[in-house]
Amino acid sequence: MRSTLKFAVPLAVAALALGACGTTGGTSNTPAASGGAAACGDYKIGMFGALTGPNANLGIYIQNGVNLALDDYNKKHPDCKVTLENYDSQGDPTQAPALAKKAIDDKKVVGIVGPAFSGESKAANPAFAEAGLVHITPSATNPALAENGWKTFFRVLGNDATQGPAAAKYIKDTVKATKVFVIDDASEYGKGLADIVRQDLGSTVVGNDTIQQKQTDFGASVTKVTASGADALFFGGYSPEAAPLIKQLRDAGWKGTFVVADGVKDQSFIDNAQAAAEGTVITCPCVPADVAPDFQAAYKAKFNEDPNTYSGEGYDSATILLDGIAAGKDRATMVDFVKAYDKPGVTKQLKFDAKGEVTDVKVFAYKVEGGKIVSVGEIK
């Protein structure tokens, strides 16, 4: 306690000295110095997620979607442009809180797209909730995130608790598998999803295994799957592990159906697994691209590739915030705006329930055919 008194003194001295420079303290914190057009708040929206480092793919797919939404908005409002502020967490929960604070301190930031992963969400969201800064995640699917009472939390896609049962249903009803092997990657996402599938499938599960992220050799797991005589394998995890896993399984002569979830819905899975990827079933709470052809065309024109995982969700999240800005909302009023939002987006009808979950959740099944991910319809 003594030390605080000590350092309060020089600060007071500094204050006096600086006062002599002719600027008055106290008022300098209002940022609206450039306020020419009253309606134009010179606002920014934030993009919070991994933009560099090993997990950057997903973040960049989202960022592309956000940028597309910004382009649309700025074209319509050329005299009052909104800019994007990037908060590159590298997907690391250790870096997330300081970045969240940075976003909160920047009073021009009226809303955040992200955080992209569940881990960093848990680290950053309490601070956003305290500051009343809206954050709409386009990709963090952990169900527990919505249970924390964060009033600022919104999610534009179905969580694992909706996707898991759909995947189980598809395996049971459409694949008609009688012996299912379930593998997860011990990640929050993969294990959460696989556990739901295990529970729903009950006695048809003939074996379980857990691999680790970044693992590339699956010799033991392959032996377990082939020895179990399973005719379907559900893998909860991401594409870097899914590709070598299915490749090694096919090399070992396993013929069953490979079922994965949205973490694998990624062109790199097919590029890397090649022939082995054929016939893979992918479930995803994301709408097929042919549902929103305009978005797909615009995306392709700008980035020279098809929209990838969560690009559409990124676009939708940003659009909600930009609509809020167009309606004259600022940080404080944005929460209620988003809460009351009800408009069609490129991925689904965007409307949230009391917990911030999107109400209209559809899970679709996709299949890898001829080196492409094609939609095979909604799982009902």
Partner 1 sequence: MTTTTNVTQKKKDRPNLNERIADLPLPIKVVLWILFALFLFALPLLNIPFITTPDSDFGGVLFTVSTYVLVALGLNIVVGYAGLLDLGYVGFYAVGAYTVGVLSSQHGSLPWLWCVPVAIAVAMVSGILLGAPTLRVRGDYLAIVTLGFGEIVRLTLVNSQWLGGAQGISNIPRPPGIELFEVPSIDWSTGVPVVDLGTTTTFLKFGISDFIPYYWLALVVIALVLVFDILVKNSRVGRAWEATREDEDAAELMGVPTFRFKLLAFALGAAIGGLSGALFAGKSGFINPQSFELLLSILFLAAVVVGGQGNRWGVILGAIVVSYFPERFREFADFRVLVFGLALMLLAIFRPQGLLPPRRTLRAKRADARQHVLEEGEAGA
Partner 2 sequence: MQFLIDNFWALTITGLTLGAVYALVALGYTLVYGVLRLINFAHSEVFMYGTFAALWVVMFLGGKAGGGTGQVIFWIAMMFVAAMTMSGLIAVLLERFAYRPLRKRNAPPLIALISAIGASFVLAEIMGLREKIVAWVGLEDNLRAYVRNSRNAVGLPDIVAKEPVFTIGGYAVTNVDIFVIVGAITIMVILDQFVKRSRLGRGIRAVAQDPEAAALMGVNRDRVIQVTFLVGGVMAGAAAVFYLLRIGITRYDAGFLLGVKAFTAAVLGGIGNLRGALLGGFVLGLAENYGSAIVGTEWKDVVAFVLLIVILLFRPTGLLGESLGKARA
| Residue 132: both structure tokens together | 């009343």
- Span from 23-31, 73-81, 245-253, 334-342 in contact with partner 1 (CB under 8 A): 23-31
Q: Which of 130, 306, 342, 353 binds partner 1 (CB under 8 A)?
A: 130
In the complex, least distance from residue 239 CB atom to partner 1, rounded to whole angstroms:
18
Any contact of residue 104 with partner 1 (CB under 8 A)?
Answer: yes
Using the contact rule CB under 8 A, the part of the chain among 1-9, 214-222, 326-334, 347-355 near partner 2 is: 214-222
Residue 186 near partner 1 by CB under 8 A: yes
How far apart are CB 246 and partner 2 at their closest, in Å?
A: 10
Residue range at the interface with partner 2 (CB under 8 A); choices 120-128, 134-142, 165-173, 272-280:
272-280
Answer yes or no whether residue 205 interacts with partner 2 by CB under 8 A: no
**In whole angstroms, how close is the CB of 108 to partner 1 at the nearest point?**
13
359 binds partner 1 (CB under 8 A): no
From the list partner 2, partner 1, none, pick the one residue 272 interacts with, judged by a Cβ distance below 5 to 8 Å according to partner type. Answer: partner 2
Which residues form the interface with partner 2 (CB under 8 A)?
A: 53-54, 56-57, 186, 209-212, 214-224, 226-227, 239-240, 243-244, 247-248, 251-253, 268, 271-275
Which residues form the interface with partner 1 (CB under 8 A)?
A: 1, 3-4, 6-8, 10-11, 14-15, 18-19, 21, 23, 25-26, 28-30, 51-53, 56, 88, 92-95, 97-102, 104-105, 118-119, 122-123, 126-127, 130-131, 142, 144, 186-188, 191-192, 210, 212
